[in-house]
Structure 1
Amino acid sequence: MNPTVRRLALVALLAAGLPAMAQSLNKVDPQHLYEHWILINQKVDIDIPNSARGVNQPGCASVSYMIGSDGVPRDLKVEKVVPQGDFGQIAMSAVSNFRYGPSLSNKNHDPVATYYTVPFNAPSDPAGQQKVMAPCRLTGYAP
């Protein structure tokens, strides 16, 4: 086989396998993320627009992302915002500044997909916070 044709065939095979590799990324529920990665930030900077819509009421926003082998969030996507407004933009700003260190069981720094739900104007009690955050829970993430 011609070397150029061989290279093209190899590239086509690799490209065909990339979606399968992306789908095999471990999707971890936020409550079990500590088994893979540990958030090391004590504080994060957040950008809040001067004219943010709907931020005076209780709500939530969920941002999905992948933690890369270097502990930095990648491929951020706002998945849910309740109620509609600018909570998503603010939540994405916070999550983009997260930094993680690998847990003791993640010695290879294996990337994982996860999500984070940011509550806004939630009551201080845990039950009230859960009520505000419940509409933003994402499915499909394993414990």
Structure 2
Amino acid sequence: MRTTTRFASSLFVATLLAAGMPAMAQEAPRVAPDQLSQDWVLLNRDVSVDVPNSGVNLYKPSCIAVTYLIGNDGVPMNVQVAKMAPSSDLGKAAVSAVSHFRYGPSLSNKNHTPVATYYVVPFNSPDDPAKRAQLMAPCKLPGYGQAA
């Protein structure tokens, strides 16, 4: 009878611990795109992206902010559209582009520590740097600071 009671007690404690694990897990630091090179370095500069042939605002200058987590293997995870200006049908293309990024750890990230960040994908962007910055400004996301 005592063995059954100990087993039941152990099972109860294990269940409580397992349920609390997600709450105990640390959230990855949120790193601004301009600070990302302190943790991860983008290895590929060219990616293939499927862009739709027809849809809303496909040829209008726009930006799409895509958030993601760089896993310890350098592959983006949980890639999703966070902001779009103006609204268009290019969200899937932006997610596709970022999903194909590959990162290597920086010299200061020898443990391959995952970080959350975002990337602003420009579409039909002007060549003029000032006009490009103006186009991209609405897609900047708050809450992404330097990693600790």
TM-score (norm 1): 0.91
Q: Aligned Cα RMSD in Å?
A: 1.6
Conserved 8 A contact 2:51-2:90: no
Matched, 1:13 2:17: yes
Q: What is the CA-CA distance between 1:20 and the residue it aligns to?
A: 4.6
Matched, 1:83 2:78: no
Task: Give the match's secondary structure for 2:69.
Answer: strand
Conserved 8 A contact 1:56-1:121: yes
Identity %: 46
Task: Give the match's secondary structure for 1:89.
Answer: helix
Q: What is the CA-CA distance between 1:64 and the residue it aligns to?
A: 0.4
Q: What is the CA-CA distance between 1:10 and the residue it aligns to?
A: 2.3
Task: Give the match's secondary structure for 2:142.
Answer: coil
Conserved 8 A contact 2:105-2:112: yes
1:53 aligned to which of 42, 47, 56: 56
1:116 aligned to which of 107, 115, 119: 119
Pair 1:86–1:105, CA change in 2 (3 A): same
TM alignment of 1:33-72, pairs within 5 A? 33-72=36-75
Measured against aligned partners, the alpha-carbon deviations of 1:84-125 in whole angstroms (never above 9, x if no partner) come to: 111211110100000000000000000000000011111112
Conserved 8 A contact 1:80-1:88: no
For structure 1, which segment, 34-43 or 48-57, has the greater mean C-alpha deviation from structure 2 after superposition? Answer: 48-57
Q: Which amino acid aligns with 1:79?
A: A
Measure, in 2, the Cα distance between the counterparts of 1:128 and 1:33: 24
For structure 1, which segment, 9-18 or 38-47, has the greater mean C-alpha deviation from structure 2 after superposition? Answer: 9-18
Measure, in 2, the Cα distance between the counterparts of 1:53 and 1:8: 54
Measure, in 1, the Cα distance between the counterparts of 2:141 and 2:22: 25
2:6 aligned to which of 2, 6, 11: 2
For structure 1, which segment, 126-135 or 44-53, has the greater mean C-alpha deviation from structure 2 after superposition? Answer: 44-53
Task: Give the match's secondary structure for 1:71.
Answer: coil
Conserved 8 A contact 1:37-1:106: yes
